Amino acid sequence: MHELAICESLMDQVERIALERNAQCVTSIVIGMGPLSGVEAQLLKHAYSIASTGTVAEQAELIVESLPVRVRCNSCGAESEALANKLLCKTCGDWHTTVIGGDELMLLSVELEKPDELSAEVLH
Amino acid sequence: MCDTCGCNITHGNESLIKPGGKLARTKSGKEAVTVLHSLLQENDHTAHHNREHFDQHNVLAINLMSSPGAGKTSLLEATIQLLDPSIRIAVIEGDLETENDAERIRKHGVKAIQIATGSACHLDAHMIHQALHNLELNEYDVVFIENVGNLVCPASFDLGQHHNVVLLSVPEGDDKPSKYPVMFRSADLVMISKADLLPILDDFKSEHARRYLQDIASTAPVIELSAKTKSGMTQWLDWIKQQISNRKDYLKQHPVQSGHAHQHEHEHLSQRREGAKNTKVISDKAIPETGSPL
């Protein structure tokens, strides 16, 4: 279950962003991934609940955007959606294709809650 | 994808960041930060760093992956026996527990470093980086990395290798490329191992395995090989020699900057985490652990 290792890497990035931007907490994290990333969304969400404990993102919602597998045909140039284990061109059927989507495993965005000015003044 | 030039914006995710896309919205009192970085950014950074080390010393690094028991260690033993002795080999072994595989390699007089991953189901670039501290790279031409036996997790982690070789053993069945497309898509060479069993396990059809590889758009060459009878070994050894020669030619044209500043005082965030502490690198004690110039 490499999802936990990946989540730890995610938490490192999120914590760094929150620190840089002086955020109070992280409210949501959006990641984008495709079937060819080799990572299971459900396992990642489960691992996230473990990895986020005690961090600035403990209460954050993890939103997973599933990105489709897409290929470009090296023979006819057509682009089409495909299955992870059937990366064939839908137009001409050729198997000489290049994956142009569906292998992503990316942190897309983070939503932060910033301390408002009033509470900042109180703190000072 | 490099996370810097915008090539990480793909057909798959560009709609999300356009105005009106899901990532463009911002609620009041909150700040939405668009990131678009690989989740494995830190691993990929270390992998790049490892590759620089290999290149500086003109060493070819080959990552062997397969399910457990597909014959990776037997393949390495046969390779050590038959490869031109002028080609100097070292092996990095990854297993959850035990030093058995490294012991098997050392019996052939070859340097082997065992990484015991504890509970981790794959090797990552940080583990290889640690192992490289115990290896004098200028003494070798090829470093084989025997990954943890697993057709899922190792495929997601770049280690800094130059080539991936994925073994598919005959007893496993010919449809594995279809069941594990991510792993087999990563292969630069696919080896049908335990090929001596083909006449016995006749439900394994090599042509089916090749067709399943085409289905995942793999252009990797396929070698049928038996480490037991040594059939197919010549093709494998020729492939290795060809890759060594190709790499040397490439590095002549694209020399690595010498005097590459390298400090190891930095502590990787992930190494501070609990999980990383469970990983042990067991040196074979031939070289003092602090003796590496890395």
Please state, for a pLDDT cut of 90, what percent of chain B lies above it. Answer: 72
Is A108's CB within 8 Å of B177's CB? Answer: no
One-letter amino acid at B35 equals: V
Co-location of A37 and A13 in the same domain:
yes
Distance of CA B266 to the CA centre of its chain: 24
Distance in angstroms (rounded) separating the CA atoms of residues B162 and B14: 30
Report residue B131's pLDDT band, with 50, 70 and 90 as the boundaries: very high
Q: List chain B residues with CB under 8 Å of A65.
A: 13, 16, 22
**Tally of structural domains, chain A:** 2
In this complex, is the C-beta atom of A60 within 8 Å of any C-beta atom belonging to chain B?
no
Mean pLDDT of B251-257: 89
Co-location of A32 and A78 in the same domain:
no
A60 lies in which domain range? 3-67+102-123
pLDDT digits (tens, 9 = 90+) for B160-182: 999 999 999 999 999 999 999 99
Distance in angstroms (rounded) separating the CA atoms of residues B79 and B234: 10
- The SS3 of residue A68 is coil
Report the b/e string of B42-67 with b at 16+ CB within 10 A.
bbbebbebbbebbbbbbbbbbbbbbb
pLDDT digits (tens, 9 = 90+) for B6-25: 555 566 666 665 555 555 54
Co-location of A113 and A93 in the same domain:
no
pLDDT digits (tens, 9 = 90+) for A85-112: 999 999 999 999 999 999 999 999 999 9
In this complex, is the C-beta atom of A61 within 8 Å of any C-beta atom belonging to chain B?
no
**Closest chain B residue to A30, measured at CA:** B23
Place of tokens 């900057």: B257
Co-location of A111 and A62 in the same domain:
yes
Is A9's CB within 8 Å of B39's CB? Answer: yes
The distance of B27 to chain A (nearest Cα, Å) reads 9
Co-location of A54 and A7 in the same domain:
yes
Distance in angstroms (rounded) separating the CA atoms of residues B3 and B24: 19
Mean pLDDT of A7-30: 94
The distance of A49 to chain B (nearest Cα, Å) reads 16
Q: List chain A residues with CB under 8 Å of B11.
A: 70, 79, 100-101
Helix ranges (DSSP H) in chain B: 14-17, 41-56, 72-82, 100-106, 125-132, 176-179, 181-185, 206-215, 233-253, 269-272, 274-277
- The SS3 of residue B60 is strand
Co-location of A84 and A42 in the same domain:
no
Q: List chain B residues with CB under 8 Å of A9.
A: 39-43, 270
- Looking at residue A27, what DSSP letter applies? E
One-letter amino acid at B150 equals: N
Co-location of A8 and A30 in the same domain:
yes
From chain B residues 78-137, the ones with a CB under 8 A of any chain A CB are: 120-122, 124
The average confidence (pLDDT) of chain B is 85
Does B91 have pLDDT greater than 90?
yes
Co-location of A7 and A49 in the same domain:
yes
Longest dimension (CA), chain A: 68
Give the closest of B33, B42, B183 to A9, CB-based. Answer: B42
Does B64 have pLDDT greater than 90?
yes
Co-location of A52 and A107 in the same domain:
yes
Q: List chain A residues with CB under 8 Å of B23.
A: 30, 108-109
Is B41's CB within 8 Å of A9's CB? Answer: yes
Helix (H) or strand (E) holding B32: strand B30-38
Q: Label residue B113 exposed, middle or buried (CB < 10 Å: 0-12, 13-18, 19+).
A: buried
The distance of A84 to chain B (nearest Cα, Å) reads 7
Dihedral-angle region of residue A13 (phi above 0 means left; psi in -120 to 50 means alpha; beta otherwise): alpha
Give the closest of A10, A38, A86 to B182, CB-based. Answer: A38
In this complex, is the C-beta atom of B278 within 8 Å of any C-beta atom belonging to chain A?
no
pLDDT at B271: 44
pLDDT digits (tens, 9 = 90+) for A29-64: 999 999 999 999 999 999 999 999 999 999 999 999
The distance of A122 to chain B (nearest Cα, Å) reads 18
Is A6's CB within 8 Å of B40's CB? Answer: yes
Is B16's CB within 8 Å of A32's CB? Answer: yes
Co-location of A31 and A77 in the same domain:
no
Nearest to A95 by CA among B215, B209, B211, B213: B215
Residue B219: which residues within 8 A CB-CB, separation 6 or more?
A: A96
Co-location of A44 and A54 in the same domain:
yes
Which site among B18, B35, B183 would you substitute to test the A interface, given the most A Cβ atoms closer than 10 Å to its Cβ?
A: B35
In this complex, is the C-beta atom of A86 within 8 Å of any C-beta atom belonging to chain B?
yes
Co-location of A78 and A38 in the same domain:
no
- Looking at residue B132, what DSSP letter applies? H
Q: Which domains does chain B have, with CATH numbers?
A: 1-37 (no CATH), 46-253 (3.40.50.300)
CA gyration radius, chain A: 19
Q: List chain B residues with CB under 8 Å of A4.
A: 275
Tokens of B282: 């067991």
Domain harbouring A116, CATH code = 3.30.2320.50
